[in-house]
A and B are shown apart, each in its own frame.
Chain A
Amino acid sequence: MTDSKYFTTTKKGEIFELKAELNSDKKEKKKEAVKKVIASMTVGKDVSALFPDVVNCMQTDNLELKKLVYLYLMNYAKSQPDMAIMAVNTFVKDCEDPNPLIRALAVRTMGCIRVDKITEYLCEPLRKCLKDEDPYVRKTAAVCVAKLHDINAQLVEDQGFLDTLKDLISDSNPMVVANAVAALSEIAESHPSSNLLDLNPQSINKLLTALNECTEWGQIFILDCLANYTPKDDREAQSICERVTPRLSHANSAVVLSAVKVLMKFMEMLSKDLDYYGTLLKKLAPPLVTLLSAEPELQYVALRNINLIVQKRPEILKHEMKVFFVKYNDPIYVKLEKLDIMIRLASQANIAQVLAELKEYATEVDVDFVRKAVRAIGRCAIKVEQSAERCVSTLLDLIQTKVNYVVQEAIVVIKDIFRKYPNKYESVIATLCENLDSLDEPEARAAMIWIVGEYAERIDNADELLESFLEGFHDESTQVQLQLLTAIVKLFLKKPTETQELVQQVLSLATQDSDNPDLRDRGYIYWRLLSTDPVAAKEVVLAEKPLISEETDLIEPTLLDELICYIGTLASVYHKPPSAFVEGGRGVVHKSLPPRTASNESTESPETAPAGPPSGEQPDVIPAQGDLLGDLLNLDLGPPVSGPPLATSSVQMGAVDLLGGGLDSLIGGPNFVTPPAAAVPANLGAPMGSGLSDLFDLTSGVGTLSGSYVAPKAVWLPAMKAKGLEISGTFTRQVGSISMDLQLTNKALQVMTDFAIQFNRNSFGLAPAAPLQVHAPLSPNQTVEISLPLNTVGSVMKMEPLNNLQVAVKNNIDVFYFSTLYPLHILFVEDGKMERQMFLATWKDIPNENEAQFQIRDCPLNAEAASSRLQSSNIFTVAKRNVEGQDMLYQSLKLTNGIWVLAELRIQPGNPNFMDLELSLKCRAPEVSPHVCQAYETILKN
C-alpha cells in the first residue's frame, strides 16, 4: 500500500469524513486519517478545522503517530494559537518521557511552534533537556535555544540559556558541540558586539578537538565559526592552520571550502618568508582542483570561490590551467565560470594551449559561451603580448566564419587590441570593414565606428562609411550616436577638406535634433572647440590615449578581502557583500581580513595583489576633461561681461562660420569665430599641459614651503551672503606655479555638491588651471581645503584696482560672486633677475615721470636679511652699494605678463631712530608700482 492515495481524496465532505476517522478507536485508522490530513496540508488545502481532532490523537505511545501529529501541529499552531495551548501539557509530559527519542522530539517540535503563549511553557522543559543525560536530546535542545531566541530573544537571555549553551561547547559529545556552535554563531550575528562566542585560545582548542570527531555538518559549523576568530599572533595562526589542513581531504566539499576559508584568512598573518607559508600554499591547490570533480552545482560554487582565490593569491593555482578546460557536457554555468578563470590564469607559459582551447569553444552552440570565448581571445591578446599576433589571426579566422554574433564580438575585442597595441595590427581593418553590414548590435557598431574614426586617415572611404551610419542616426542607440559624433569629428580634423558637410550634419543632429543631454553636450563641446581653436580641438580630440590595462573585471581590493572572509557562502557565489542581499541586520556584520603582524609588513608591500592601472595614468585623462568642463562652465555662468555668447547664438555663429570659413581659416586659427577675449597667444594647447603639471606639483609640493610669502587665509565670502557657503582663502606661489588655497565650509543644513569655479577677466589673465575638485559632497559643518592651481593665460581686462579678482563659485544651490585682491608678488616670476648692464640701461631708458617713491615704515632689517627675504619672493638683488652709511639695493622683478619693474631700496642700518626704508620703483607701466610697493611691504614685514 502506498501513500499516494492520500493525494487523491478531493471529494466534498472530505473534512467530515476525516473528522470521523480521526476520532476512530482504531490506531491504524487514526494513523491513516492523520496521513490524509497531512497530504491535504501539503497541497495547500486548509485542514485547520481539524485541529482539535488531530491534537486528540497526540496522546499516544506510538512514535509514528506522534510524529505525524507533531508535523500537523507545527504547521497550524500559529493560525490557531488558542488551540495550540491544548497541546502544551502533552509536550511537557513528553519532555520527561523515558525514551530519549520522544524527549528530543517534544523539545524539537515545541521550538517549531512559534506561538508566544507556548514559549513560556517551553522554558522549563528546555532547561532540563539542555542537561539531559542523552546527547541526542542535548544536541536537539541546543538548536531549540536558537529557535526560542528567534521568537523571543529577551526571554532566552533572561532565562540564562545563552550561558548553558556556552557550556555545551565543552560537551563531551561532538554533535552537541557542533549544534551549540551553530546556534551560538547565529545568535551572535544578531548581537555583533556581545562577544557571545567568546573565542579565546582555550575555546578554540576545544573546537579544534571536536572538529576531529564531528559529523561533516558539525565540521562545517565549527570551521565557519573558527573563521571568525583572529589569532593573537602568527604562531597561533600557524598552529590553527596546521590543525585545520587535514580537513582539506574531506569528501564533503563544504568542509573543504570552509577549511580553505580559515586558511586563506589566517595566512594573511603568516610571514611569506616562513617555510610553512610555502607549504600551505602548495597544500591548497590540490583540494581546490578536486572540487571540480564534484557535482555541477558544487563545481559552480567552487568556481565562483576559485575566482576570488585566484585574484587574491594568483600563485596558488597558476600551474593548474588544464583543469579549467571546459568539458563538452559541462552545464553552461560551469562553462562560463571556467572560462573566466582561464583568462585570469592565462600567461605566457600556457597561452598556446589556452588559445587552442578558446578556438574550439568559439565553435560551440551556446551563444553566450561562444561570445565569452571570443572575448577571452581578445583578453589573452591584451594580457600576453607575445600572443597578440596569434590572437588577432585567430579572431580573423573567426570573422571569416561569418557567424553573425561571432563577427560582432570579434570586432568589439579587436577595438581593445588596437588600444593596447597602437599602430600594429591595423592591416586587418580592411577585413573588418567588409563586415560592416552584418553588425546589428550597438556595442559592435560602436566599436566599428570607433575604429573607422580612429584610423580615418588609413581608410580611403572612411567618410562614406561613416555617412552610411549617419542616415539612421536617430534610430541608433546612444552608445552608437556618441561614437559616431566623435568619429566624424576625428575624421574632420584629419581630412578637413572633404568632410565639412558631414561634420556639420552630425553636429546639428547631435545638438539640435537630439533629446539626449549627453549627446547634445558632447556636440556642443566639439562645436565650441572647433570654432574656438581648431588646433586645441585637434590636441583634445586626437590626443594620444593612455593604454588600456591588462586585467579587467578585477574585484575592488577591499571587497575582495571581505569576500575572502565569506568563502563558501552565498556572498562568495554572488560576489557581493551579504548586506547587498540579506535583509535587516542579520549576517551583515562587515568582515575583514586580519591585519598582518608588523614584522611582515615590509615583505608584503611589493607583492600586493595587482591593482588597476598605474596611478600615473589617470591624471592623463582628467585634466583634459577638466578643461572642457571649465569651458562649458563659461557658457552658463559667465559674469556679466561681454564674454562668450550664449549657447544658442554661439552655435549659430559657429554654423555660419563653419560654412563660410574654409580649410585655411580653420587651420590658420584666430580668424575663425574666436571669443572676443582671444588675445591670448596661440598656444592655447598649453593650459592643458601646464594644468597637468600643476596637478602633479600640487601633489608633490605640498608642505615644502620654499615659495614666496603666503598670507593667512581671509574670509572672502561670508556664509550669510552665500546661502551657508563660507569661503576663505589666500594665494600662494611655489616653484613657478600659482595657486589659490581655498577653504570651503558648509554652514548650511544641506549637503553641497557640484562645485565649480570661474574667474572674471582680470588684469593679469589669472584663470583656474584645473576645475575645482571637491571630491566628496560637503556635508553640513564640514570644511574642505582645496588648492586650486591657477595660470595666467586667461582673458585680460584691466580692473580697478589693478589686482582685483572677481570670482564666481557655483554649487548645487546657487551661483555666488565675490571679489578679492591678490598680492602682486604671486605674479613675480622666477627668471626676474636682470643683468647688471641691462639694469642700468633700462633704468636710464625709463622716463623719470614713471618713477615712484615710497616709504616703508618701521622695518628694522639690514640689507642681507631684506635681500634674502625678497629673493624668496622672486625680487632679485642685482647690485648693492653703500653710500654714506646707507645700503642701496638695486633690484629687479618681472611679472607674469612680461612687465619689468626695477627698484632701488635704501636701508639705513644702525640707526635705531630711523627704521623706515625708502623705495624707488621704475616701470614702463607705472600703475603697477603702488601694488609692487605693497608687495614689498608685505614681504618685508612678515
Chain B
Amino acid sequence: MIGGLFIYNHKGEVLISRVYRDDIGRNAVDAFRVNVIHARQQVRSPVTNIARTSFFHVKRSNIWLAAVTKQNVNAAMVFEFLYKMCDVMAAYFGKISEENIKNNFVLIYELLDEILDFGYPQNSETGALKTFITQQGIKSQHEDKRRAIPDHQPGDWANWLAAGGHQVSSERALPGCAGECEPPHVPTGGKQSIAIDDCTFHQCVRLSKFDSERSISFIPPDGEFELMRYRTTKDIILPFRVIPLVREVGRTKLEVKVVIKSNFKPSLLAQKIEVRIPTPLNTSGVQVICMKGKAKYKASENAIVWKIKRMAGMKESQISAEIELLPTNDKKKWARPPISMNFEVPFAPSGLKVRYLKVFEPKLNYSDHDVIKWVRYIGRSGIYETRC
C-alpha cells in the first residue's frame, strides 16, 4: 500500500509530507527531488524506482504530487487516488497552486488522514467528506469567481467530441433519492438505435443492474457529477470538417489556407469556435485574412488563433495566412503539429439520447411527476485535430 505522500513546489521544496509506513524514511523525500524534479532530462515515466522505492507522480500546473511505496502496490489505484486527491483539494480550495496549498495545509493534512488510512484509500467523495472534515477550504483572493477547474479535468476526455458527448444536469440533486434513466442502445421513438463501443459509470451506478437490465439506476451524490462516459466510433456526425492547405514558398515563406465546414442542421448554431494553426518556431511575421471571426498570430504560443463566436450549420468559412520565416541553418524539418479546434454544438454528434429519467424518493414521498426534469444536449470538442 501507499507508504507516504509528498507535495512539492516546482523548486522541489516540500509543501506537504505525510508518511504512513515505517519503511519510508525522510530520505525518500530527497530521493524524489534529486532524481525526478531536479533531473536533467525530461521525465520519461510517471513511475520511478529509486533504490527499491517506487514513486508515482502527477503534476498539476507546477505542483508535484508524489506517492511512495516499497511494496508491489496496485499502480492503477495509486494514480486514481492521486487524481482523486487533486479533485478533492480543488473542490475545497480551487486551483492547486503553491499559494493555495500553503494556505490550506492543515486542511490537507486532515484530508490525508481521512482519505488514506495506513496507505489504504478510504471514501473520498467530496460530499461524504463534509461529515468528517473540520477545516474549511481557503480560496485565493486572486482567483476569479468562476469555479476553479483543475488543470487536467477528467471531463476533458479525449474523445469527447469524436465520440460525441452530452451532459445531463439535474438542477438540484435530491439527497437520498434514486434516479433511473434509459441508456442508449435501445430504439428511441422509432429512430435508429446507436451503437456505442464502451461506457463507464460513476461509482454510484449499480453496475450489476445495468449489466442485467440495461438501465442506469443510481443514487446521486451531492453536487454535480459525471454519471456516464461512453465511447463510440461508428456513425458519428463530425460537426466540422477542417481542410488545411500548406504550401512552402521557398525557404523563407509559408502559405497556409484553412477551410472549415459546418456539417449539421442549418437551424442549429455552433458556439465558441476556435481554430489553432501552429506556426514554425522561426516565424518572423504573419499576415492573416479571414472571412469570418477574428484571427491573430500569437508568437508566444507559436500559433495563429482564429475565433468565431457563432456559426450555423452547413456553412463554410476560410482563413488564409502568409507566414514569413527567418532563415535558419537548422537541418531538422519542422514537425508540423496538427491544427486543433474547439467548439460547442447544441446536440450530441453521436446521436445519443436520454430516453427517460425517473426519480424515486420513498422517504419524502415525492412522486416522479413532482420533479422538474430537463435535459440539455451539448457536444463539446475534446481533442479535435487535423494533420496538416
Is the pair A296, B75 in contact by a Cβ cutoff of 8 Å? no
Would you give the 0/1 interface string for B115-139, flagging 1 where the beta carbon is closer than 8 Å to chain A?
Answer: 0011011111100000110110010
Which residues of A have CB within 8 Å of B71? 570, 582, 586-587
Docked Cα-Cα span, A819 to B385, in Å, equals 81
Best-buried of B45, B117, B159 by chain A (most CB within 10 Å): B117
Docked Cα-Cα span, A501 to B226, in Å, equals 78
Q: Is A212 interfacial (CB 8 A cutoff)?
A: yes
Contact of A249 among B158, B200, B332 (CB under 8 A): B200
Is the pair A568, B138 in contact by a Cβ cutoff of 8 Å? no
Given A42-B15, A175-B123, A216-B80: A3 and B75 interface contact (C-beta under 8 Å): no
Is the pair B45, A258 in contact by a Cβ cutoff of 8 Å? no
User: Can you list 12 contacts pairing A with B, beta carbon distance less than 8 Å?
Assistant: A1-B138, A38-B105, A43-B14, A183-B120, A215-B203, A220-B77, A252-B203, A254-B79, A287-B198, A298-B80, A566-B72, A568-B77
User: Which of chain A's residues has its CB closest to B44's CB?
Assistant: A333
Given A3-B106, A301-B79: A251 and B202 interface contact (C-beta under 8 Å): yes
Which residues of B have CB within 8 Å of A245? 211
Docked Cα-Cα span, A328 to B276, in Å, equals 14
Would you give the 0/1 interface string for B84-121, flagging 1 where the beta carbon is closer than 8 Å to chain A?
Answer: 00000000000000010011111101100100011011
Q: Is A572 interfacial (CB 8 A cutoff)?
A: yes
Interface residues of B in 30-69 (CB under 8 A from A): 42-47, 49, 52, 54, 56-58, 69
Given A42-B14, A258-B74, A587-B72: A67 and B134 interface contact (C-beta under 8 Å): yes
Given A2-B104, A296-B46, 7 more contacts at CB 8 Å?
A1-B138, A71-B113, A179-B120, A250-B200, A578-B72, A582-B71, A583-B70
Q: Is A161 interfacial (CB 8 A cutoff)?
A: no
Interface residues of chain A, those whose CB is within 8 Å of chain B, are 1-4, 6-7, 35, 38-39, 42-44, 63-64, 67-68, 70-71, 101, 108, 111-112, 114, 139-140, 143-144, 146-147, 150, 175, 179, 182-183, 186, 212, 215-217, 219-221, 224, 243, 245-247, 249-254, 256-258, 286-287, 289-290, 292-293, 295-298, 300-302, 327-329, 332-333, 360, 363-365, 368, 401-403, 566, 568-574, 578, 581-583, 586-587
User: Which of chain A's residues has its CB closest to B103's CB?
Assistant: A2
Given A247-B207, A333-B45, A363-B333: A581 and B134 interface contact (C-beta under 8 Å): no
Given A300-B47, A329-B383, A403-B331: A295 and B75 interface contact (C-beta under 8 Å): no
User: Which of chain B's residues has its CB closest to A1's CB?
Assistant: B138
Docked Cα-Cα span, A333 to B124, in Å, equals 29
Docked Cα-Cα span, A55 to B314, in Å, equals 72
Is the pair B83, A295 in contact by a Cβ cutoff of 8 Å? yes
Is the pair A146, B52 in contact by a Cβ cutoff of 8 Å? no
- Distance between B230 CB and nearest chain A CB, rounded to angstroms: 9
Is the pair B17, A42 in contact by a Cβ cutoff of 8 Å? yes
Is the pair A300, B46 in contact by a Cβ cutoff of 8 Å? yes
Docked Cα-Cα span, A485 to B74, in Å, equals 50
Which residues of B have CB within 8 Å of A586? 71
User: Which of chain A's residues has its CB closest to B120's CB?
Assistant: A182
Is the pair A254, B231 in contact by a Cβ cutoff of 8 Å? no
Best-buried of B76, B121, B231 by chain A (most CB within 10 Å): B76
Q: Is B298 interfacial (CB 8 A cutoff)?
A: no
Best-buried of B75, B201, B229 by chain A (most CB within 10 Å): B75
Which residues of A have CB within 8 Å of B333? 363, 401
Docked Cα-Cα span, A363 to B199, in Å, equals 35
- Distance between B263 CB and nearest chain A CB, rounded to angstroms: 22
Docked Cα-Cα span, A150 to B119, in Å, equals 13
Contact of A4 among B21, B102, B135, B383 (CB under 8 A): B102
User: Which of chain A's residues has its CB closest to B335's CB?
Assistant: A365
Which 4 pairs across A and B sit closest by C-beta, in order of nearness?
A286-B198, A254-B76, A2-B103, A4-B102
Contact of B80 among A67, A140, A252, A287 (CB under 8 A): A252
Is the pair A293, B231 in contact by a Cβ cutoff of 8 Å? yes
Q: Is B371 interfacial (CB 8 A cutoff)?
A: no
User: Which of chain A's residues has its CB closest to B382's CB?
Assistant: A293
Docked Cα-Cα span, A714 to B69, in Å, equals 60
Q: Is B273 interfacial (CB 8 A cutoff)?
A: no
Contact of B103 among A4, A111, A224, A243 (CB under 8 A): A4
Interface residues of chain B, those whose CB is within 8 Å of chain A, are 1, 14-17, 20-23, 26, 42-47, 49, 52, 54, 56-58, 69-77, 79-83, 99, 102-107, 109-110, 113, 117-118, 120-125, 131-132, 134-135, 138, 152, 154, 157-159, 197-203, 206-208, 210-211, 226, 229, 231, 331-333, 335-338, 383, 385, 387
Given A3-B104, A251-B226, A328-B385: A290 and B76 interface contact (C-beta under 8 Å): no
Given A217-B121, A587-B71: A573 and B337 interface contact (C-beta under 8 Å): no
User: Which of chain A's residues has its CB closest to B233's CB?
Assistant: A322
- Distance between A428 CB and nearest chain B CB, rounded to angstroms: 23
Given A216-B80, A245-B211: A571 and B72 interface contact (C-beta under 8 Å): yes
Is the pair A143, B113 in contact by a Cβ cutoff of 8 Å? no
Is the pair B138, A253 in contact by a Cβ cutoff of 8 Å? no
Which residues of B have CB within 8 Å of A568? 74-77
User: Which of chain B's residues has its CB closest to A62's CB?
Assistant: B134
Is the pair A570, B75 in contact by a Cβ cutoff of 8 Å? yes
Contact of B117 among A63, A67, A108 (CB under 8 A): A108
Given A101-B132, A328-B385: A290 and B335 interface contact (C-beta under 8 Å): no
Given A44-B14, A220-B77: A246 and B207 interface contact (C-beta under 8 Å): yes
Which residues of A have CB within 8 Å of B69? 570
Docked Cα-Cα span, A2 to B45, in Å, equals 35
Contact of A332 among B44, B82, B385 (CB under 8 A): B44
Which residues of A have CB within 8 Å of B203? 215-216, 219, 250-252
- Distance between B229 CB and nearest chain A CB, rounded to angstroms: 7
Is the pair A35, B106 in contact by a Cβ cutoff of 8 Å? yes
Which residues of A have CB within 8 Å of B154? 295
Which residues of A have CB within 8 Å of B75? 301, 568-570, 572-573
Which residues of B have CB within 8 Å of A328? 337-338, 385
Docked Cα-Cα span, A144 to B157, in Å, equals 38
Which residues of B have CB within 8 Å of A302? 76
Which residues of A have CB within 8 Å of B331? 402-403
Is the pair B105, A39 in contact by a Cβ cutoff of 8 Å? yes
Is the pair B199, A217 in contact by a Cβ cutoff of 8 Å? no
Which residues of A have CB within 8 Å of B56? 297
Docked Cα-Cα span, A42 to B103, in Å, equals 13
Is the pair B54, A581 in contact by a Cβ cutoff of 8 Å? yes
Which residues of A have CB within 8 Å of B199? 249
Docked Cα-Cα span, A182 to B118, in Å, equals 11
Is the pair B201, A249 in contact by a Cβ cutoff of 8 Å? yes
Is the pair B138, A297 in contact by a Cβ cutoff of 8 Å? no
Is the pair A3, B46 in contact by a Cβ cutoff of 8 Å? no
Is the pair A217, B103 in contact by a Cβ cutoff of 8 Å? no
- Distance between B383 CB and nearest chain A CB, rounded to angstroms: 7
Given A43-B14, A403-B332, A568-B74: A186 and B80 interface contact (C-beta under 8 Å): no
Which residues of A have CB within 8 Å of B42? 332
User: Which of chain A's residues has its CB closest to B98's CB?
Assistant: A4
Which residues of A have CB within 8 Å of B82? 297
Given A251-B202, A289-B198, A333-B44: A212 and B134 interface contact (C-beta under 8 Å): no
Docked Cα-Cα span, A301 to B131, in Å, equals 33
Which residues of A have CB within 8 Å of B201? 249-251
- Distance between B53 CB and nearest chain A CB, rounded to angstroms: 9
Is the pair B120, A217 in contact by a Cβ cutoff of 8 Å? yes
- Distance between B43 CB and nearest chain A CB, rounded to angstroms: 8
Docked Cα-Cα span, A182 to B16, in Å, equals 26
Contact of B46 among A175, A252, A254, A333 (CB under 8 A): A333
Is the pair B109, A38 in contact by a Cβ cutoff of 8 Å? yes
User: Which of chain A's residues has its CB closest to B123's CB?
Assistant: A215
Docked Cα-Cα span, A788 to B96, in Å, equals 72
Which residues of B have CB within 8 Å of A68? 106
Best-buried of A1, A252, A574 by chain B (most CB within 10 Å): A252
Contact of A297 among B79, B103, B383 (CB under 8 A): B79
- Distance between A296 CB and nearest chain B CB, rounded to angstroms: 7
Docked Cα-Cα span, A70 to B201, in Å, equals 37
Given A3-B104, A63-B134: A251 and B229 interface contact (C-beta under 8 Å): yes
